[in-house]
Amino acid sequence: MTLEAFADTIVPGEKRHPGDRAVAGAAAGGGAVQAGALELMEWDATGISEGLDDYVRLLNDHAREYAAETGLDPDPSVPPFVALPYAHRTELVRRLVAPGHPEKAFWVLLTLFSNMAYDSAAHMHTAEAIAAGHPGLAAMGITRPGPGGLWRFPAFSYGRPLARLHPDTTPSGSPA
Amino acid sequence: MTSTERTDVLVVGSGFGGAIAAYHLAAGGAKVVILERGPWLTAKDFEHDFMLGSSYTRIFDFVVGDGMSILGGNCVGGGSVVYFAAMPRAPRFVFDKQTGLGRRVWPASVSRDTLDPWYDRVAESIPITKQDWNDVTYAGGLWAAACDHAGRTANPVPAAVDRDHCVNCNWMMAGCRFDAKQSLLLNYLPAALAHGARIRPLHEVQRIERNHDGSYRVHYDIIDEEDYRVRGEGGAIDAKIVVLAAGAGATPVILQRSEPSLGRMPHGVGRYFSGNGERLNTAVLNEDRVREVLGLTREDGLAYAANQIGKGPTVANWDRLDGSLPEFTRYSLEQLYFPPGLGTILAQVADAAGGPSWFGARKKEMLSRWQSWLIIFQMIEDANEGVFGPPPAAGNADRISQQMLGIGRLRYDPAETTLRAWAMADAEVKDILERDGLAEVTAWTNDVVGAYTVHPLASCRMGDDPATSALDDRNELRGHPGIFVTDGSAVPTALTVNPAMTIAALAERAIPGIVRAARERGVEVAYGAPAPDGSTSGRRGVADLLPSLTRK
């Protein structure tokens, strides 16, 4: 739940059901969680799967300190990071990934994989992800592949001169 | 009892620097072995797939440093398999760059005039297309039209792409499925194999030591073909000549790790790294304004919405490549495609309104307009600020993911001149693309993984001054005769354009000196191979330059 809340902070989505606590509901459409961020993080290929318990523990420690600092009174029925409202989750993550934070590299990794779950479905074959309606690839408008699972774009050019060439261009097309 | 394998020439890395050396030395009669840390894939293996473990993640490498991250190749063919195939020659002023003390950074013997015949040799060996407007993609055309609207010029970029085979799929970074991109897998490497060179993929070189007879022993680990974190038992090969071409993010690391067994390294090893001054800007276009202001339309009534379509950079603005301009104010601005995955996280929203600029709800909105993105690639003159710290236990980085991602030892703290040049280039891109409401433009943030280069250079640079260069003007490592460096490490400065053509030309130029050194070490090898396809005009073109490159 804590990791879902982190991924949802990076690419927010709409709640999966009315009682969804991990997903804050800060944006319409599926976010990183619906895109498969947890599946990606838990895959050992990422190199972070064995450290996920540490991420959860640390993030909740930071959330507890943050709540105390800002005078928030978090709901004890969910982990402290999940209890933070979206704007506060965002502010805490912003601090953790800011230049100079001693744990920055650690948290940046988690943001990278949260983002990759959404923008490239790195835990799935791309064509299968598109066919399954992957929310990130769909929102970005990535088109379906053609035959053989390959993309081809027969139309690709405006096909006409659109600027003057630099006067110092060599015959081979390089700068002089 | 085991005996160590022996060869005449051991080449480390199979990108431009390694493949070119391997071809010429094998064709000249030497016994050549190439060790490559990455896998050996060919067109049928190159997948259109972002899934971890596909060709996309197997063949390139992303190494995060302190202040600078490097994206490079990791496969047989090296950078040529993952690059975007832009092949411009470097402008004349680049070679005249001076240090603060008024000394020339490049060797006196290297200038655009003396390098042009070597560029010609490369152009004869790797088919390069002088693209015309019919080859220019929607993205390149849009950049050209915007430049023109702002009173600038714009040029189709010469590229090693066979237009008859290119389908504009924009998967070049995953390797070209259609063999349209003229990577080294299609020219120098098959020619080297035909002359008996052997390529050993998944062999990662760790260190070099000197034998009593003056030859070198090169130690390697075997890397698992799927999980690069897993190392098998390695071995060693003895060679009379070593050509290091592991890339500017790895060559200095191998040398640093070799220092205890090889002896003291020149000061320039692992210093003066340049990211080629690279930085990306993202424009999110207003489709209506593209139609109204630039008069552009494509099929189905669209104006642009073509970020997914294309073939890497097709158009560049070269107006600032003017030698009369002050240093650090000269740069090129090139249209470029960058795929999702690592290519979107660093893009920032134009108006973060106090919120985070590179993640969160606003960033998600920006992603929903991804098809209307246009990426502009800046290549400025940086100040060679990068320094490699002590090497990791193995390889050039501590690997995190099974492929692709690692933590390296490069530190890069951009100088004031570099920051100013980036700011100047940012402002110019903004001026061109925000004019008349065409787009909103932001630079990629350096706050996440530092600055970012796809063209690492100069970490073992050549030069005339032993105090500031690791190599002499013939690419031989100072104080270590018989070790040559021919990759981007040797290129002394940022080039203000894509560097593949210059790396390749410098490698071609280094060959006569390597051949001479090999002959002095008893290897029966001759210089003078034609281009890989048998063409010979390039060979005639460099004949007059040979005496200076084979001097004692």
Across the interface, whether the CB atoms of B49 and A126 are under 8 A apart is answered yes
A45 closest CB neighbour out of B53, B310, B332: B53
- The verdict on ipTM greater than 0.95 is yes
Model pLDDT for residues A2-42, shown as the tens digit of each residue: 999 999 999 999 999 999 999 999 999 999 999 999 999 99
pLDDT class for B354, splitting at 50, 70, 90?
A: confident
Amino acid at A110: L
Whole-angstrom distance, CA of residue B133 vs CA of residue B155: 9
Q: Within 10 Å of residue B224's Cβ, how many Cβ atoms? A: 12
State how far residue A70 is from chain B, nearest Cα, in angstroms: 17
In chain A, the percentage of residues whose pLDDT exceeds 90 is: 98
Model pLDDT for residues B148-203, shown as the tens digit of each residue: 999 999 999 999 999 999 999 999 999 999 999 999 999 999 999 999 999 999 99
Is residue B274 pLDDT above 70, yes or no? Answer: yes
Give the pLDDT mean for B323-335.
96
Is residue B294 pLDDT above 60, yes or no? Answer: yes
Collect all residues of chain A within an 8 Å Cβ-Cβ radius of residue B69.
none
Give the pLDDT mean for A108-118.
96
- At B127 the pLDDT is 94
Q: Which among A33, A156, A165 is the top mutation candidate for probing chain B, defined by the most B β-carbons within 10 Å of its own β-carbon?
A: A156
Q: Judging by beta carbons within 10 Å of its beta carbon (0-12, 13-18, 19+), is residue B498 exposed, middle or buried? A: buried
Sheet strands (E) in B74-159: 155-156
- Which are the contacts of B28, defined by CB distance < 8 A and separation ≥ 6? B515, B525, B526, B527, B528, B529
Collect all residues of chain A within an 8 Å Cβ-Cβ radius of residue B155.
165-166, 169, 173
Nearest chain A alpha carbon to B344: A119
Whether the Cβ atoms of residue B203 and residue B394 lie closer than 8 Å to each other? no
* Count of positions (residues) in chain B: 552
Dihedral, A66, A67, A70, A71 alpha carbons, nearest 10: -160
Give the pLDDT mean for B34-60.
96
- At B2 the pLDDT is 57
Collect all residues of chain A within an 8 Å Cβ-Cβ radius of residue B284.
none
Collect all residues of chain B within an 8 Å Cβ-Cβ radius of residue A164.
148, 153-154
Amino acid at A46: T
Q: Which residues pair with B68 in a beta bridge?
A: B451
Is residue B552 pLDDT above 80, yes or no? Answer: no
- Which are the contacts of B146, defined by CB distance < 8 A and separation ≥ 6? B294, B432, B433, B435, B438
Q: Judging by beta carbons within 10 Å of its beta carbon (0-12, 13-18, 19+), is residue B407 exposed, middle or buried? A: middle
Q: Which among A10, A93, A157, A160 is the top mutation candidate for probing chain B, defined by the most B β-carbons within 10 Å of its own β-carbon?
A: A157
- At A27 the pLDDT is 97
Is residue B536 pLDDT above 50, yes or no? Answer: yes
Across the interface, whether the CB atoms of A163 and B153 are under 8 A apart is answered yes
For tokens 């066919």, what's the residue?
A131
Per-position b or e across B343-369, b if 16+ CB within 10 A of its CB: bbbbbbbbeeeebbbbbbbbbbebbbb
Collect all residues of chain A within an 8 Å Cβ-Cβ radius of residue B501.
174
Whole-angstrom distance, CA of residue B38 vs CA of residue B198: 15
Model pLDDT for residues B300-327, shown as the tens digit of each residue: 899 999 999 999 899 999 999 999 999 9
Model pLDDT for residues B62-92, shown as the tens digit of each residue: 999 999 999 999 999 999 999 999 999 999 9
- At B1 the pLDDT is 44
Give the pLDDT mean for A92-97.
98
Collect all residues of chain B within an 8 Å Cβ-Cβ radius of residue A89.
none
Nearest chain A alpha carbon to B171: A151
Give the pLDDT mean for A99-118.
95
- At B550 the pLDDT is 84
Residue B154 is given by DSSP the state -
Across the interface, whether the CB atoms of B356 and A94 are under 8 A apart is answered yes
3-class state of residue B58 by DSSP = helix
- At B539 the pLDDT is 93
Q: Which among B51, B92, B284, B285 is the top mutation candidate for probing chain A, defined by the most A β-carbons within 10 Å of its own β-carbon?
A: B51
| Mean per-residue pLDDT of chain B | 96
The phi, psi pair for A122, rounded to 5°, reads -65, -5
* Sequence spans of domains, chain A: 2-146
Model pLDDT for residues B410-428, shown as the tens digit of each residue: 999 999 999 999 999 999 9
Give the pLDDT mean for B331-339.
96
Model pLDDT for residues A125-154, shown as the tens digit of each residue: 999 999 999 999 999 999 999 999 999 999
Give the pLDDT mean for B280-291.
98
